[in-house]
Amino acid sequence: MTTLQFDIVAGDSAVRVGILQLPHGEVETPVFMPVGTAATVKAMLPENVAETGARIVLGNTYHLMLRPGAERISRLGGLRKFMNWPHNILTDSGGFQVMSLAGLRKLSEEGVRFRSHIDGSEHFLTPERSMEIQHLLGSNIQMVLDECAPFPASFDGIEKSLALSMRWAKRSKWAFRDAPGRHCFGIVQGGVYPDLRRKSAEELVAIGFDGYAVGGLAVGEGQAAMFDVIEATVPHLPGARPRYLMGVGKPDDIIGAALRGIDMFDCVLPTRSGRNGQAFTWKGPLNLRNAQHADDAAPIDRGCTCNCCRSYSRAYLHHVVRSGEIIASILLTWHNLTFFQDLLRAFRNAVRNQTVSQFSAEFLTNYRSSREEDPV
């Protein structure tokens, strides 16, 4: 396998700043990856996503395999060309989405048979097919197929699920097509059980991957339990490899996880919140639907350099949100993605300056002081 170059440039194995050397530009970590589910970051042009500072986005294997199809995207030049994104792409394996289909799927040792939520057509996703789809998409980082177990679940149930995920991880690694600029990450599972998380991490390290994700979290276990799982998992992962917390999340979740050694994050929250009238700020989230913003001539954040904050007031945003105008989704998503990038840029600078403990404590105190209703 072509080794992913990951240089730790500040901090240590617990809290660190690194650089992922990827073919379409360096990516500084800790990094937040905007989610481009269907070959688009919702409500954003690719150049606007790049303007926020993002240099890697996430593509969704499940949605793209159903529409427009991985083979079609490949014929059209791959996902980067198809969506006009000049930078790097990570693709998930489709496992989480398929497992969320409940009565529309049937799991077996070979893979998972499911019906499309779009038209009811039947599909069969195996570790080998997932890796083939991701190869056709042309992603730079491909994820193994795993079973995303429900929460809560018994120790025995998670142990059985974990064993299947580890067998699938081996098959995914065997099916991965090694090529320059292509890399493969394993996914640690094990629910909220430290012993199972350790077992999963050790088995994946023995298989050997370019990076290691922590999966199966942000599914209802709560922040404290999530942090406990991270603390139980990270010591069993190679310090020289990037660590990716999948599907997380809220700004205070991200800072807490970064303090515990996580390097990569993704979540739909900033884009979904933007479409629902919520803006993230250093003092907590704002609900622009609230009447208190109707006469406020100030921007969301005076220190923010995004186009939304440079040009529009809270009063205007309140108006277009309440009116259901498309521009509300565009502007608030633009701001939210900028905020997430700015937050991690500030975190990286604090690590470099050896002030990360003070920075994080001040941010978490200010952020959690918000009393606005969360509309999402």
Residue 310 has a CB neighbour count (10 Å cut-off) of 9
> 153 near 191, Cβ under 8 Å?
yes
- C-alpha 99/C-alpha 60 separation (Å) is 14
Q: In terms of domains, do 245 and 304 share one?
A: no
Q: What is the 8-class DSSP label of residue 262?
A: -
Q: Give the domain-ending residue among 216, 245, 267.
A: 267
From 267, 297, 332, the end of a domain falls on: 267
Mind listing the pLDDT tens digit for each residue in 305-331?
999 999 999 999 999 999 999 999 999
Cα Rg, the chain, nearest whole Å: 20
Task: Say if residue 207 is in the same domain as residue 284.
Answer: no
Query: How many domains does one find in the chain?
Result: 2
Give the three-state DSSP class for 320.
helix
pLDDT at 376: 55
Q: Where are the alpha helices (DSSP H) in 138-245?
A: 155-175, 194-207, 223-233
Domain that holds residue 314: 279-367
Question: Final residue of a domain: which of 231, 247, 267?
Answer: 267
What is the pLDDT at residue 374? 54
Is residue 331 in some structural domain? yes
The two tokens of residue 296 are 């406020």
What CATH number did the domain enclosing 96 receive?
A: 3.20.20.105
In this structure, the answer to whether residues 226 and 180 fall within a common structural domain is: yes
pLDDT along the chain (376 residues), means of 10: 89 92 98 97 98 98 96 98 98 88 87 92 96 98 94 96 97 96 97 98 98 95 97 97 97 98 98 98 97 98 96 98 98 98 98 97 92 58
Specify whether 337 is located in the same domain as 245: no
Is residue 26 domain-shared with residue 69, that is, in the same domain?
A: yes
Tell me if residue 124 falls in helix, strand or coil. strand
- Tokens coding 337: 């993605």
Query: What is the pTM (predicted TM-score) of this model?
Result: 0.97
Q: Any idea what DSSP says for residue 91?
A: E
Round to whole Å and give the CA distance between 311 and 182: 40
Together in a domain, 152 and 204 = yes
Q: Is residue 13 part of a domain?
A: yes
Task: Report yes or no on 373 lying in a domain.
Answer: no
Q: What is the dihedral of CA 10, 15, 19, 20, to 10 degrees?
A: 160
Q: Are residues 113 and 169 in the same domain?
A: yes
Residues marked active site are found at: 92, 266
Fill in the amino acid letter for 169.
A
